[in-house]
Amino acid sequence: MKPVVVVAGTRPEIIKMAPIIRALNKEKLPFLFVHCGQHYDYNMSQQFIENLELAAPDYSLKIESSSPGAQTAEIMMKMDQLLEKIEPSIVLVEGDTNTVLSAALAANKRAIPIGHVEAGLRSFDLRMPEEHNRRLTDHISDYLFTPTENAKANLIKENVWGKIYLTGNTAIDAVIQHLPIAEKKSTIMEKIPFKTFALATAHRAENVDDVAFLESFMEVFSKSPLPIVYPMHPRTKKRLQENNMLSQMEKMKNVLILPPLGYLDFLVLMKNCSLIITDSGGIQEEATAPGIRKRVLVIRLSTERQEAVDAGFAKIVGTDKNNILVAMHQALEKEQKLPSASPFGDGTAAVKTVDVIKKDFA
């Protein structure tokens, strides 16, 4: 069997591909792990590979471009050269980043089968570059591994030509596999001075590149009904500095700013927080996993994880400071019983995905 190429370029991709790498290892299928370097900061990439106890990537691409278009082109060009050398049986990509689209296009141009893990997600918000990436990738993929019935229905409605498989989401696999390890190894709670707290993240371009959003975010923090623990994304830090807001946030006594965290530390914070405020899609999934089960306020106008909303875990609150604060008060004042099962699967997504690959390529 020719090797399976597993591609990752960002923190969420590393996390969600880790269970697939383990499943490939267990089945003794040949594979090569390629890191595309879209998150070039140590804390955003290598730290997660080490946390997940994965072997170092077989190939690490050094990406120098900064603009989205140039970055996409550079990854595609370097992946093309690599795929010519490797000649894999299938290229596996996960999610909706520039890495995903670039690697998929490179494989498509060489007539190499593409497997899209987490296929079929739709926010129906074309302002988001991720929406373009995931749609384009779905329509050139040969194998579409969908996390939910909704995602499968989206693909059927769009008449994609690849084979569709309902597997669940490997994010749940990852939480189940790593939360016990995180609780043993992480010391992050020793750094938290608050008994109860909300965990906040923000990184999406349509949010943090907007000064009005940053101002709203700052006011939410200053008026929050409970302390905030805020691991700050490099992009957000840069935008706050550019707008002379960072020092103001650092002075807030009810806010603890942390550097980007490893996966294990972040799992422990999710486990111990009272509420999550985020614009991340992956966190909306992780919050539904057994052992976490936390309410999430989604500071966006839409979500491609509607299942989390339907199950009662997540609520879309937009970016207006008043709406966010009202939703925070409501979430804290009203106890809500959350489902015991995640709408994103039971932790067997990676095994189901690798079973398909083994059947068709081994």
CATH number of this structure's domain 178-333, picked from the four choices 3.40.50.12780, 3.40.50.2000, 3.40.50.300, 3.30.450.40: 3.40.50.2000
Q: What is the pLDDT of residue 277?
A: 97
Q: What is the pLDDT of residue 43?
A: 54
CB 219 within 8 A of CB 320: no
In 3D space, the residue among 177, 63, 159 whose CA is nearest the CA of residue 120 turns out to be 159
Tens-digit pLDDT profile for the chain (362 aa)?
999 999 999 888 999 999 999 999 999 999 999 998 765 555 556 777 887 889 989 999 888 877 889 999 999 999 999 999 999 999 999 999 999 999 999 999 999 999 999 999 999 989 889 999 999 999 999 999 999 999 999 999 999 999 999 999 999 999 999 999 999 999 999 999 999 999 999 888 788 888 888 899 899 999 999 999 999 988 889 999 998 989 999 999 999 999 989 899 999 999 999 999 999 999 999 999 999 999 999 999 999 999 999 999 999 999 999 999 999 999 999 878 899 999 999 999 999 999 999 999 98
Give the containing element (helix H, strand E) for 277. Answer: strand 275-278
Show me where the domains of the chain are located: 4-168+347-361, 178-333
In angstroms, what CA-CA distances link 301 with 29, 172, 307, 316, 324? Answer: 42, 24, 16, 7, 12
* DSSP β-ladder status, 255-258 and 275-278: unpaired
Burial tier of 361 (Cβ tally within 10 Å: 0-12, 13-18, 19+):
middle
CA torsion through residues 289, 118, 356, 361, sign: negative
Q: Which residues are catalytic?
A: 203
Q: What is the pLDDT of residue 47?
A: 74
* DSSP β-ladder status, 275-278 and 31-35: unpaired
Task: Say which residues have a Cβ less than 8 Å from residue 141's Cβ, sequence separation at least 6.
Answer: 104, 114, 115, 116, 119, 160, 162
- CA 353, CA 357: separation in Å to the nearest integer? 7
- Residue 210 neighbours by CB distance under 10 Å: 15
Q: Tell me, yes or no, if the two domains 4-168+347-361 and 178-333 fold the same way.
A: yes
In 3D space, the residue among 276, 280, 283, 312 whose CA is nearest the CA of residue 297 turns out to be 276
pTM to 2 decimal places: 0.92
Q: What is the pLDDT of residue 112?
A: 98
Q: What is the pLDDT of residue 241?
A: 92
- Residue 174 neighbours by CB distance under 10 Å: 29
Q: Within 13 Å of residue 276, how many CA atoms lie on the same side as its CB?
A: 31
Q: Which amino acid is at 273?
A: C
- Give, in words, the CATH class of 4-168+347-361: alpha beta
Q: Which two tokens stand for residue 149?
A: 């019935």
Q: What is the pLDDT of residue 228?
A: 97
* DSSP β-ladder status, 163-166 and 4-8: unpaired
Q: What is the pLDDT of residue 208?
A: 87
Q: What is the pLDDT of residue 139?
A: 98
- The C-alpha angle 113, 117, 123, rounded to 5 degrees, equals 120
Q: What is the pLDDT of residue 66?
A: 77
Q: What is the pLDDT of residue 38?
A: 64
